[in-house]
Amino acid sequence: MQKLELDEIDRVATYLTKIPGIGFKSAKRYAIWLGEHKTETSRLTEALKSLIENVTTCRKCFNLTTSKDGLCEICKNPERDASTICVVQSIENLVEIEQSNVYNGLYFVLGGVISPLYNTEHIIKRIEYLKRRVKEEHIREVILVLSSTTEGDLTVHYIKETLKGSDVKISKVASGIPVGTDINYVDKRTLAEALRSRVYI
pLDDT at 99: 87
pLDDT at 1: 42
pLDDT at 14: 95
Question: Which one-letter DSSP state was computed for residue 148?
Answer: S
Q: Which of 104, 74, 79 has its CA nearest to residue 91?
A: 74
For each of the domains in the chain, give its residue range(s) and CATH number, in order of start: 2-54 (1.10.8), 71-200 (3.40.1360.10)
The answer to whether residues 170 and 142 touch, using CB atoms and an 8 Å cutoff, is: yes
Residue 190 neighbours by CB under 8 Å, 6+ apart: 176, 177
The answer to whether residues 110 and 127 touch, using CB atoms and an 8 Å cutoff, is: yes
pTM: 0.83
Write out pLDDT tens, residues 63-96: 999 999 999 999 999 999 999 999 999 999 899 8
Task: Collapse the DSSP code of 81 into the 3-class scheme (helix H, G, I; strand E, B; otherwise coil) and give the result.
Answer: strand
pLDDT at 199: 80
Write out pLDDT tens, residues 151-166: 999 999 999 999 998 8
Q: For the chain, what percentages of helix, strand and coil (3-state, to nearest 5) are there?
A: 50, 15, 35
Mean pLDDT by 10 residues, the chain (201 residues): 69 94 95 95 96 96 96 97 96 90 94 88 96 96 90 94 93 65 65 76 81
Q: How far apart are CA 188 and CA 201, in angstroms?
A: 23
pLDDT at 58: 97
Identify the burial level of 116 via C-beta atoms within 10 angstroms of its C-beta, where 0-12 means exposed, 13-18 middle and 19 or more buried. exposed
Q: How far apart are CA 71 and CA 75, in angstroms?
A: 6
